[in-house]
């Protein structure tokens, strides 16, 4: 079966410090990988997604970056954290999105990790 | 672009009450629709899904029907339990971005 791991689970960092959150997936190959952020009292915001090694799509301008050095590894980084970077970061994976006969993506479910809570002070 | 609108919470109910959480969407094409649940301090778990119009997704007593004519996917449960207390997210597939677009979430609090 497939599993997804995120770490660290909790992180407290000062403003201006670097960040590295790591996510790995087991039991599948060539997954789509995602980073979402959930700010306090708000919904989920898609930050990055990746369809393959070295292929990263960024959704919003920010001081965060993502990398995919291996097929099942996805890393979220920052060189200098801001207060506004505080939040709950969720990694997710899915099988390759494809279109069914109705022209939609079918039941391409996202499976989430347990999340990493980042507090920037 | 695609978007999802959920009713604002928190929704506070007594145990065994009937639950409805409204969700409407805006999308091009024919997206798949999902409900995810987030228990305190945890990631999101898929609750149910529907892939085409008039499909009904169901799981753990929860149900939602894909209504294309009203662009809605309301979540219902006939009798809630304290253990159902969580945040519920409605979502749809965004084929162009190969990702899910989520609503803002609705917090449900069930009191004994």
A5-51 pLDDT, tens digit per residue, is 999 999 999 999 999 999 999 998 889 999 999 987 678 899 999 98
Number of inter-chain CB pairs under 8 A, A vs B: 76
pLDDT in tens, A55-69: 998 888 678 999 999
- pLDDT, residue B31, reads 86
Residue in chain B lying closest to A10 (CA):
B41
Q: Would you say the C-alpha torsion A22, A27, A33, A36 has a positive or negative sign?
A: negative
From B60's Cα to the closest Cα of chain A, the distance in A is 18
Element (H, E) at B4: strand B3-6
Considering only A95-104, B24-33, B34-43, which range has the smallest mean pLDDT? A95-104
Q: Cβ separation of B43 and A46 shorter than 8 Å? A: no
- pLDDT, residue A99, reads 54
Q: Indicate left, alpha or beta for B84 from its phi (over 0: left) and psi (-120 to 50: alpha).
A: alpha
Mean pLDDT of B82-102: 86
Q: Cβ separation of B51 and A104 shorter than 8 Å? A: yes
CA distance B107 to B112: 16
Kindly indicate the confidence band of residue B52, based on its pLDDT and cuts at 50, 70 and 90: confident
Q: Cβ separation of A104 and B102 shorter than 8 Å? A: no
B41 CB neighbours in chain A (<8 A) are 115
Q: What are phi and psi of A84, to 5 degrees?
A: -70, -5
Kindly indicate the confidence band of residue B96, based on its pLDDT and cuts at 50, 70 and 90: low
Helix, coil or strand: residue B98: coil
CA distance A20 to A78: 7
Q: Cβ separation of A43 and B98 shorter than 8 Å? A: no
Q: Is 80 exceeded by the pLDDT of residue A106? A: no
- pLDDT above 70 coverage of chain B, percent: 97
Cα–chain-centroid distance for residue B81?
17
């Amino acid at each position: 079966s497939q599993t997804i791991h995120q770490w660290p689970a909790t992180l407290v960092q000062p403003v201006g410090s670097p960040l590295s959150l790591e996510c790995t997936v087991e039991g599948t190959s060539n997954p789509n990988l995602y980073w979402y952020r959930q700010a306090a009292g708000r919904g989920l915001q898609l930050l990055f997604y990746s369809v393959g090694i070295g292929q990263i799509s960024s959704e919003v301008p920010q001081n965060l970056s993502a990398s995919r050095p291996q097929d099942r590894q996805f890393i979220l980084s920052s060189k200098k954290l801001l207060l506004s970077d505080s939040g709950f970061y969720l990694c997710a994976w899915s099988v390759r999105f494809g279109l069914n006969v109705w022209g939609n993506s079918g039941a391409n479910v996202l499976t989430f990790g347990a999340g990493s809570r980042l507090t920037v002070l | 672009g695609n978007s999802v609108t959920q009713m604002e919470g928190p929704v506070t109910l007594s145990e065994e009450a009937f639950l409805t959480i409204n969700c409407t969407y805006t999308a091009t094409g024919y997206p798949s629709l999902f409900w995810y649940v987030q228990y305190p301090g945890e990631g999101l778990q898929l609750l149910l899904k529907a892939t085409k119009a008039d499909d009904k997704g169901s799981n753990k007593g929860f149900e939602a029907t894909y209504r294309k004519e009203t662009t809605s996917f309301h979540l219902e449960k006939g009798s809630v339990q304290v253990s159902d207390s969580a945040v519920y997210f409605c979502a749809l597939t965004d084929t162009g971005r190969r990702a899910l677009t989520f609503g803002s979430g609705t917090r449900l609090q069930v009191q004994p």
